[in-house]
């Protein structure tokens, strides 16, 4: 056996080799190089299996924690952005503090110890910071995050929640008295009388009402009338305390009380339309038109002079009609005049309550006094 075995000549010494032997030797060298290269590439491949998944997960976690925080201001008590004023109240910023008005008045342990002109509506900055520190240890039962400043007022209930989270889950807050809040299990309810399903719609928006929802509110004075909660809240936010009443029967006592019990916020201010710029500007506009049957002024009914024959005199009773002095043949010393609608009838005594009218001067459907 040993005689048959031939040792391969060294690769670096091609002497004594035939062509075939030299070709086989070069092929073997190429194969060896390819195998070495494959081994090096395998060493460079990422780790497979659980170790690799753990590595990727930790890398993802690092990316999340390194994300830049939002630059928008957030409420100190619920840690959320301004949002809808009808749901969360006005977003207030003062003394380096930012809070929702509703979070401010509904926080369970926050007391109003100052005058209305101190702090934020009487809530002192140090008290707000103290309440925020207390809330930072409370976990919201909805989102499972800390910072829940509101807790359910039902005895033995330990649920805490952020105001926006509670509204999404069906919690209810009352805006009167002690400003209590309740979770969805302990909130006040109504015995809603259901009519014909499919025929019921909200009186305010005329859209269908859901089969059974805590977002529906029944009127106490018109028992067959139902509203969407969001519609009633929008109505209360617009009309405010002095104009809020039942849309059906105009009840101003029982209706607002029931809406307060069911968590509707009724602002104690003027109505929204009275707060608009120039809301009463029309009241300061003086009537500037001659309503005499025949206007004698050359420049027309809409022009007049400050004094003299062509000065404009307004009706002493309604103020919504006017005439040039000469157009109604008024004396230069007459200071009061009544339009045809307000002037007393010529029949009878010819007198008017509070004024003495000389019928001999009644001219062209008007009278002077």
Q: Is residue 315 part of a domain?
A: yes
Neighbours of 225 (CB within 10 A): 19
- First-to-last C-alpha distance (Å) of the chain: 153
Residue 54, pLDDT score = 46
Q: Could you tell me whether strands 172-173 and 160-161 are parallel, antiparallel, or unpaired per DSSP bridges?
A: unpaired
Angle made by CA atoms 46, 31, 15, in degrees to the nearest 5: 150
Q: Is residue 258 part of a domain?
A: yes
For residues 267 and 309, membership in a common domain is answered with no
Residue 27, pLDDT score = 80
pTM of the model: 0.60
Taking only the tens place, the pLDDT of each residue in 285-327 is 888 899 999 999 999 999 999 888 899 999 988 888 999 999 9
If you average pLDDT over residues 75-82, what whole number do you get?
91
Q: What percent of the chain has pLDDT over 70?
A: 76
Please check whether residue 338 is in contact with residue 316, taking contact to mean a CB–CB distance below 8 angstroms: yes
Taking only the tens place, the pLDDT of each residue in 91-124 is 999 988 999 999 999 999 999 998 888 999 999 9
For residues 89 and 156, membership in a common domain is answered with yes
Task: Dig out the tokens for 37 from the structure.
Answer: 């290269």
Task: Dig out the tokens for 27 from the structure.
Answer: 């092929």
Q: Which domain holds residue 152?
A: 85-169
Residue 47, pLDDT score = 52
Looking at residue 120, the DSSP 8-state letter turns out to be B
Q: Is residue 299 part of a domain?
A: yes
Neighbours of 206 (CB within 10 A): 8
Residue 303, pLDDT score = 92
Q: How confident is the model at residue 60 (pLDDT cuts 50, 70, 90)?
A: very low
* Bigger pLDDT: 192 vs 304: 304
Domain count, the chain: 3
Residue 70, pLDDT score = 56
Q: Is residue 291 part of a domain?
A: yes
At residue 58, does pLDDT exceed 60?
no
Task: Dig out the tokens for 78 from the structure.
Answer: 């619920």
Residue 349, pLDDT score = 44
Q: Is residue 156 part of a domain?
A: yes
If you average pLDDT over residues 347-351, what whole number do you get?
47
Please check whether residue 301 is in contact with residue 290, taking contact to mean a CB–CB distance below 8 angstroms: yes
DSSP string of 58-118? HHHHHHHHTSPPP-S---TTT------HHHH--EEEETTEEEEHHHHHH-TT----S-TTS
For residues 239 and 204, membership in a common domain is answered with yes
| CA–CA gap between residue 180 and residue 140 (Å, rounded) | 17
At residue 41, does pLDDT exceed 50?
yes
If you average pLDDT over residues 33-50, what whole number do you get?
68
Residues facing residue 226 across a β-bridge: 218
At residue 61, does pLDDT exceed 70?
no
Q: What percent of the chain has pLDDT over 90?
A: 48
Q: Is residue 137 part of a domain?
A: yes
Which of 302-316 are b and which e, b meaning 16 or more Cβ less than 10 Å from the residue's Cβ? eebeeeeebebbbbb
**In sequence order, which residues have a C-beta less than 8 Å from that of residue 273 and are 6 or more positions away?**
238, 279
User: Nearest Cα to 162, choosing from 174, 144, 173, 150?
Assistant: 150
For residues 193 and 221, membership in a common domain is answered with yes
Computed over every residue of the chain, the mean pLDDT equals 80
SS3 337: strand
Task: Dig out the tokens for 261 from the structure.
Answer: 């019990």
For residues 293 and 365, membership in a common domain is answered with yes
| CA–CA gap between residue 11 and residue 25 (Å, rounded) | 7
Please check whether residue 365 is in contact with residue 345, taking contact to mean a CB–CB distance below 8 angstroms: no
**In sequence order, which residues have a C-beta less than 8 Å from that of residue 313 and are 6 or more positions away?**
322, 323, 324, 325, 328, 330, 334, 336, 337
If you average pLDDT over residues 223-233, what whole number do you get?
89
At residue 13, does pLDDT exceed 80?
no
For residues 147 and 219, membership in a common domain is answered with no
At residue 367, does pLDDT exceed 60?
no
Domain boundary among 102, 137, 169: 169
If you average pLDDT over residues 131-137, what whole number do you get?
94
Q: Is residue 126 part of a domain?
A: yes
For residues 165 and 192, membership in a common domain is answered with no
Domain boundary among 275, 303, 322: 275
For residues 315 and 351, membership in a common domain is answered with yes
Domain boundary among 135, 169, 203: 169
Residue 207: CATH number of its domain: 3.30.40
| CA–CA gap between residue 25 and residue 236 (Å, rounded) | 96
Taking the CA atoms of residue 314, residue 315, residue 316 and residue 319 in that order, the dihedral angle to the nearest 10 degrees is -80
Q: How confident is the model at residue 45 (pLDDT cuts 50, 70, 90)?
A: low
Q: What share of the chain is helix, strand, coil (3-state, %, to 5)?
A: 30, 15, 60
For residues 297 and 338, membership in a common domain is answered with yes
């Amino acid at each position: 056996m040993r005689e048959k075995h031939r040792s391969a000549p060294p690769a670096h010494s091609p002497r004594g080799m035939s062509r075939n032997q030299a070709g086989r030797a070069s092929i073997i060298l190429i194969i060896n190089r390819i195998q070495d290269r494959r081994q090096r590439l395998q060493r460079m491949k990422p780790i497979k299996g659980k170790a690799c998944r753990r590595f990727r997960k930790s890398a993802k976690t690092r990316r999340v924690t390194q994300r830049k925080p939002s630059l928008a201001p957030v409420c100190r008590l619920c840690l959320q952005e301004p949002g809808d004023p009808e749901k969360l109240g006005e977003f207030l910023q003062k003394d380096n503090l930012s809070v929702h008005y509703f979070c401010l008045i509904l926080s369970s342990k926050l007391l109003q110890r100052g005058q209305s002109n101190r702090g934020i509506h009487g809530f002192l900055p140090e008290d707000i910071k103290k309440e925020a520190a207390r809330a930072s240890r409370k976990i919201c039962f909805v989102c499972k995050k800390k910072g829940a400043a509101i807790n359910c007022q039902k005895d033995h209930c330990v649920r805490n929640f952020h105001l926006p989270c509670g509204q999404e889950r069906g919690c209810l807050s009352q805006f009167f008295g002690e400003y209590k809040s309740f979770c969805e299990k302990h909130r006040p309810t109504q015995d809603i009388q259901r009519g014909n399903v499919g025929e019921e719609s909200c009186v305010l928006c005329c859209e269908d009402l859901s089969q059974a929802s805590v977002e529906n509110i029944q009127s106490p004075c018109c028992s067959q009338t139902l509203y969407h909660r969001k519609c009633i809240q929008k109505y209360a936010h617009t009309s405010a305390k002095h104009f809020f009443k039942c849309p059906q029967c105009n009840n101003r006592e029982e209706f607002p009380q029931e809406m307060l019990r069911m968590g509707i916020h009724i602002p104690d201010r003027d109505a929204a339309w009275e707060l608009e710029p120039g809301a009463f500007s029309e009241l300061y506009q003086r009537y500037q038109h001659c309503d005499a049957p025949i206007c004698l002024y050359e420049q027309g009914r809409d022009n007049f002079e400050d004094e003299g024959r062509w000065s404009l005199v307004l009706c002493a009773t309604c103020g919504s009609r006017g005439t040039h002095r000469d157009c109604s043949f008024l004396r230069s010393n007459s200071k009061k005049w009544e339009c045809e609608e307000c002037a007393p009838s010529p029949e009878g005594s010819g007198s008017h309550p509070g004024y003495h009218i000389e019928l001999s001067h009644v001219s062209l459907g008007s009278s002077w006094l």
